[in-house]
């Protein structure tokens, strides 16, 4: 046995130092895992899709008289919610029971580059739509839009959230024929 008693102060400080070092290593490991998840999430592509329709009011009135479908446009807006730019390959889907294609990048066409959408930027596309307003009602105006980018494929249910009817007509065009006095018609013109 040794004649010197053990130094309990030195031993306790050594044990505390070892415990602090081990807890620092564990904290570093979990912090590194968390930062990697945050970084991967920041690279992830996220989008927001909004669908709307627009009709010319005179074509709607003519369609009721001639029983043909009014001419309008169906518009889609794709917003990049991610933190990195994304490149669009195609935007297509099914709306009100009809298959529609808003955008398609032809990979064989070297003159046309892919549509680049910056963070927070929106890409707007319109197509002609020759269906009645009734088809875009609350129940039938639903559909699924598929957006394909270079990294990810999105399939999102959408509904026509806005129908815009434009072009103001004169009051004489709104009154049915035979309901207005010819004298009053001359005064209104």
Count of structural domains within the chain: 1
> Which pairing describes strands 142-149 and 86-95: parallel, antiparallel, or unpaired?
antiparallel
Contact 80, 86 (CB under 8 A): yes
129 domain-assigned? yes
83 domain-assigned? yes
User: What is the reported pLDDT for 8?
Assistant: 86
User: What is the reported pLDDT for 142?
Assistant: 77
Which domain does 107 fall in, by range?
47-167
User: What is the reported pLDDT for 1?
Assistant: 55
176 domain-assigned? no
80 domain-assigned? yes
59 domain-assigned? yes
53 domain-assigned? yes
- Whether pTM exceeds 0.85: no
User: What is the reported pLDDT for 166?
Assistant: 67
What CATH code is carried by the domain that includes residue 74? 2.60.40.10
102 domain-assigned? yes
Residue numbers of the chain with a pLDDT score lower than 50:
138
């Amino acid at each position: 046995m040794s004649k010197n008693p053990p130094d309990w102060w030195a031993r306790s400080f050594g044990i505390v130092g070892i415990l602090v070092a081990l807890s620092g290593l564990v904290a570093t490991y979990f912090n590194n895992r968390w930062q990697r998840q945050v970084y991967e999430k920041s690279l992830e592509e996220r989008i927001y899709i909004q669908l709307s329709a627009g009709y010319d009011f005179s074509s709607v009135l003519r369609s009721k008289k001639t029983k043909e479908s009014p001419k309008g446009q169906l518009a889609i807006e794709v917003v990049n919610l991610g933190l990195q730019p994304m490149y669009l390959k195609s935007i297509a889907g099914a709306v009100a029971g009809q298959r529609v294609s808003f955008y398609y990048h032809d990979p064989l066409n070297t003159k046309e580059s892919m549509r680049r959408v910056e963070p927070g930027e929106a890409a707007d596309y319109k197509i002609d739509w020759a269906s009645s307003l009734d088809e875009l009602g609350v129940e039938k105006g639903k559909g699924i839009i598929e957006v394909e980018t270079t990294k990810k494929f999105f399939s999102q249910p959408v509904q026509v959230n806005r129908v815009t009817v434009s072009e103001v007509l004169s009051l004489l065009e709104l009154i049915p024929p035979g309901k207005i006095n010819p004298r009053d018609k001359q005064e209104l013109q």
